[in-house]
Amino acid sequence: MTSAFANAKKQIDDITSILESEYQDKKKFQKAVKLLKKPDRVIFLSLSLKDDKGKIKKYKAFRSQHNNARGPYKGGIRFHPNVSEDEVKALSTWMSIKCAVAGIPFGGAKGGVVVDPGELSISELQRLSTLYAQKLASNIGPWKDIPAPDVNTGGREMGWMLDAYEKIVGFQAPATFTGKPVELGGSQGRTEATGLGGLYTLENYVRKKEIKKERIEIAIQGFGNVGYWFAKLASAAGYKVVAISDSSGGVYNPKGLDVDKLTKLKNEYGTFLNLPKSGYQSLITNHELLSHPVDILVPAALENTITKDNAKDIKAKTVLEMANGPTTPEAEDILLKKGIDILPDVLCNAGGVTVSYFEWVQNLSGYYWGVVEVNEKLKKIMDKSFSEIYEMKKKKDISFRQSAYTLAVKRIIDAMILRGGA
């Protein structure tokens, strides 16, 4: 399997020739690029958890802090069996890029625990979350590193971690974690923010392409928080969502799917494969979904979904990346040669970290906004980011990803040079 971190480094390499001419001091530029292709540090943890039966189990855990030239480290914590050093290094790199694309004052981080949370009781999950926060306490904080939810974590876990952290430092510090429940200082609109940011990107793209949204068919691979909210919001906005999948497989209806009805059925039956035939026409595999001839394909699960092995089968006109790193560089080359636009993850899913930034600001100021104000501010940032990337793409005749990376890497490198670190 392709290394996610190797992909992240290659994406930076792909735009260095575009950027280099803008710097008189080539040595400083090359030094900054070299530093940008590795994290500042990776923290390795071993968590010893006493399970409900009194048995001690050990879990590996990580926190990669990539770059803080533009602000404190920022990034999620995931609980998943496939968490690895390579993965968190890649994801923290993408977070640095994503924050710079959005123009918010954070650098990138990412953490995780190697665990299948489905195998733990709620009390075990709480103890594991608490352990992780306790072990990380000296390395995080509102001006140091601000974790958030990611795969298989949410507001509940952030609440547990915040409590553990505050007991260690001895004072209230809600801005240390984002994605918290509203009752603990979380922001209105945070739950749906990533999906909503993706919708704003789609709306901007459709407007530029002058396509009628009623004619657009969408297939979404992945039905966690991001996939669900994107599907729900896109459907409500007038787009036709014809296919959705989870890890077991998916459902398809050429007339469009009722997202709310599907959600209720999935909650009742567990997976799409177990659903009774109601509200869809047929069951499909994930490969069939990825290769379906739709207008917009939305990978919204894990990284390395679209590879050189399946890229040739992609028939969508546009790929809108809601997952982190779903398209490998080799696959991207194939898709671009086929004339398929790829709207990159560092733009499309930046809504989550943007509203996390709003949450951080609200926590630090003690002044809180309503959901309408949050969504208006999010739209303003997403619209501005899309416009900047689109204009750069046209100006330099490069891909959407190259355009996003060119803007972001320049912002990070400029900050590094101004600090004297490059």
Strand partners, 114: 80
Average pLDDT on 119-148 reads: 98
DSSP letters along 207-251, please?
A: HHHT--GGG-EEEEE--SHHHHHHHHHHHHTT-EEEEEEETTEEE
Residue 117's identity, in one-letter code, is P
* pLDDT value, residue 280: 64
pLDDT band at 293 (very low <50, low <70, confident <90, very high): very high
pLDDT-derived band of residue 230, with 50, 70 and 90 as boundaries? very high
> Which amino acid, one-letter code, is at 409?
V
Closest CA to 7 of 332, 297, 312: 332
Order the strands of the 318-320 sheet from edge to edge. 282-284, 249-252, 240-246, 217-221, 296-299, 318-320, 341-343
Which residues are annotated as part of the binding site?
74, 98, 194, 225, 356
336 pLDDT tier (thresholds 50, 70, 90): very high
pLDDT exceeds cutoff 80 at 1: no
- In this prediction, residue 304 carries a pLDDT of 85
Query: Beta strands of 277-365 (E only): which ranges?
Result: 282-284, 296-299, 318-320, 341-343
pLDDT at 278 over 70: no
User: pLDDT grade, residue 121 (50/70/90)?
Assistant: very high
Q: What is the mean pLDDT of residues 338-342?
A: 97
Helix axes 371-396, 85-102, angle to 10 degrees: 90
Confidence label for 271 from pLDDT (cuts 50, 70 and 90): confident
What's the rounded Cα separation, in Å, for the pair 358 and 105? 11
Confidence of residue 279 (pLDDT cuts 50, 70, 90): low
Q: Which domains does the chain have, with CATH numbers?
A: 38-184 (3.40.50.10860), 193-348 (3.40.50.720)
Where does residue 340 rank: exposed (0-12), middle (13-18), buried (19+ CB within 10 A)? middle
Name the binding residues for substrate: 74, 98, 356
- What's the DSSP call for residue 171? S
**Confidence (pLDDT) at 302:** 80
Give tens-digit pLDDT for 298-313: 999 888 899 999 999 9
- Give the pLDDT band of residue 36 (cuts 50, 70, 90): very high
Q: Is 396 a catalytic residue?
A: no
Q: How far is Cα 399 from Cα 310, in angstroms, rounded to an integer?
A: 20
Residues ≥6 apart with Cβ < 8 Å to 269: 275, 276
pLDDT tens per residue, range 207-228: 999 998 888 999 999 998 899 9
pLDDT digits (tens, 9 = 90+) for 158-178: 999 999 999 999 999 999 999
pLDDT for 383 equals 98
Least confident segment among 105-119, 273-287, 313-327, 360-374: 273-287
Gyration radius from the chain CA atoms:
21
pLDDT at position 274: 80
Block residue for tokens 């979404």: 220
Checking if the pLDDT of 270 tops 90, the result is: no
Which member of 9, 110, 180, 232 is catalytic? Answer: 110
Say which residue the tokens 């996003």 belong to. Answer: 404
Residue 26 is predicted with a pLDDT of 93
